[in-house]
Structure formats: structure tokens, C-alpha cells
Chain A
Amino acid sequence: SAVISQKPSRDICQRGTSLTIQCQVDSQVTMMFWYRQQPGQSLTLIATANQGSEATYESGFVIDKFPISRPNLTFSTLTVSNMSPEDSSIYLCSVELNYPPYNEQFFGPGTRLTVL
């Protein structure tokens, strides 16, 4: 399994500002994913952040709004840029292990973002 931590756990931000969310994993993993979960909704994949390549974004999400860094196999950041109240959500990172069991994803606790 993997233990994942996220910072901050929550934040309240003003519109127009940016917030960088950190995701730390206790083991080396290639595949890392960033999700958004709006209140009462399911998880929506924002992007895949594999180490050694540029992040790939899902439809509706763009790099200028959600830049991602993946400097090594245990760490990633997601920035929510030029925030608006519509960005208020829980942001989660997850990983898939480099060794069995494959296909399972392990999630961080999430970052609860409120934009005023």
C-alpha cells in the first residue's frame, strides 16, 4: 500500500489568487493523478502526472489554470490559478503503485478549498 499526505488540508482564499497543493507519497511511484470533488459529487480527473513526462489533462482542464509539477517519484504539486468561487472543491491526489497489486489507486486525504 501507500501512505499519501496532502498540504494544506484546507484553505480559504480570495478570488484572483492562486493556491499550490502538495502531495507527498511514502514510496516511489510513477503514476500520480489529481482529482476534483465538488460538494456532493463524485471525483473528476483533472490530470495524470507521471514522473518523467508532462502532465496530461482531461477535457475541460487546462495547464494555465491547473499547472502541475512532478519533480520526483514521491512528490507532486497542483496549483489552482486565478481562483474563482467555482473552484471551491476538494482536491485529491492518488497514486498507482509500481508493483502489485496493480490498478488500485491510493488516495490522499484531500485539500478542501473555499474561494470567496
Chain B
Amino acid sequence: SQKIEQNSEALNIQEGKTATLTCNYTNYSPAYLQWYRQDPGRGPVFLLLIRENEKEKRKERLKVTFDTTLKQSLFHITASQPADSATYLCALDMMDSSYKLIFGSGTRLLVRP
């Protein structure tokens, strides 16, 4: 069955450093992959979408890579700030043209001032 893995341990980094989060998947060939941010007590907020034919996508301080051979996406936040502290979820389409998403369990990022 389809499986998405994100590091369950919190990532704790110093302000100004680059945070790198990983999303791995198996038994799967998604057409696209998305990253969302979720703050406590709130719903997820969309950040970036990358398609299977794209290697990299950037938005301000955010960068996402998508390696369909390794079945992995990396999510980078450069020049991290304490305000970037949140849980980051990756999500993949269900490959059945239904627009449904499967979410990973998320990685909590803590940026120390």
C-alpha cells in the first residue's frame, strides 16, 4: 500500500540556519507533491506544489526538490526565523484523478532565537 514517511522527531535549529525536512514515499508514483504548514490549533496552510516533471521549485525563502527516482522530496527553509516554527506536512495526490491527498505525519520544526 501507499506509504509516506516524514521524520517524526522534531527538528531543532538555530535562527539563520537552513532547515531541511524530508518526505519519503513508497509504492507510489504521484503526479505532484505538496507541502503544508500547520500551527497548533489551526488547519494546514498550503506552501508549495511541485509536479513530477519538476526537479525544484522556489518561493521566497522556501525551496522544494522532488526526486522521483529516490521517491523523496526535500523542503528547505533558508535564513530560518523563530516564526517558521511549526509542523510541516507533505501531501501526495492519490493517483486516481480524484484530487484527493494523502498526508504524511509531519515534522515539527523549532527555530531557536
Interface size on B, residues (CB 8 A): 20
List the A residue with the shortest CB-CB distance to B48. A104
In the complex, the answer to whether A42 meets B43 with C-beta atoms within 8 Å is no
- Other-chain contact of A41, B41, B44, B105 (Cβ < 8 Å): B105
Interface size on A, residues (CB 8 A): 22
A76 contacts B by Cβ under 8 Å: no
Query: How many cross-chain pairs have Cβ atoms below 8 Å apart between A and B?
Result: 48
In the complex, the answer to whether B32 meets A103 with C-beta atoms within 8 Å is yes
Complex Cα–Cα for A105 and B41 (A): 18
- Which residues of the other chain, B, contact A108 by a CB distance below 8 angstroms? 43
Q: Which of B64-72, B77-85, B94-102 lies at the interface with chain A? A: B94-102
- Which residues of the other chain, B, contact A94 by a CB distance below 8 angstroms? 43
B89 contacts A by Cβ under 8 Å: yes
- Other-chain contact of B45, A31, A43, A107, A110 (Cβ < 8 Å): A107
In the complex, the answer to whether B34 meets A103 with C-beta atoms within 8 Å is yes
In the complex, the answer to whether A43 meets B32 with C-beta atoms within 8 Å is no
- Which residues of the other chain, A, contact B42 by a CB distance below 8 angstroms? 109-110
Q: B: which residues have CB within 8 A of A?
A: 32, 34, 41-46, 49, 89, 93, 98-106
Identify 5 residue pairs between A and B in the complex whose beta-carbon atoms are under 8 Å apart, listed by A's number.
A4-B43, A45-B100, A103-B34, A104-B46, A107-B45
